[in-house]
Amino acid sequence: MKPDTRTAMQRLIEEVRAAIPFDAAQARVCSGDCSGCSQKLLDYLEGELAAWEQRLAEGDRPSLADLSRLAKTARKIHRVLVRNGILAEEAEPR
């Protein structure tokens, strides 16, 4: 049986937090040439995850479109972080 959207969003948030180094040192994140500012992208994604955690805590029920949108955003940011040398390719979130 598939999980409800609240459970699926919680799992997605956990998976993204495990795959993306939000606690990486500033020197590691900003190290010269990059295609897209890794620090700004990490800050943006952290804000999105925190907002959804807050909404879930308040009892909000995400739609499938919300799940899809967050997953797509996380994948795109992951690709930029790989391109910038911050992450290895194999840890991409769903």
Given a cut of 60, is residue 92 above it in pLDDT? no
Q: Which amino acid is at 67?
A: L
Tokens 């040398």, located at residue: 85
35 three-class SS: coil
Confidence of residue 3 (pLDDT cuts 50, 70, 90): confident
pTM score, whole prediction: 0.82
Region 36-52: mean pLDDT is: 90
Say what the pLDDT of residue 93 is: 54
Mean predicted lDDT score pLDDT of the chain: 85
Q: What percent of the chain has pLDDT over 90?
A: 53
46 three-class SS: helix
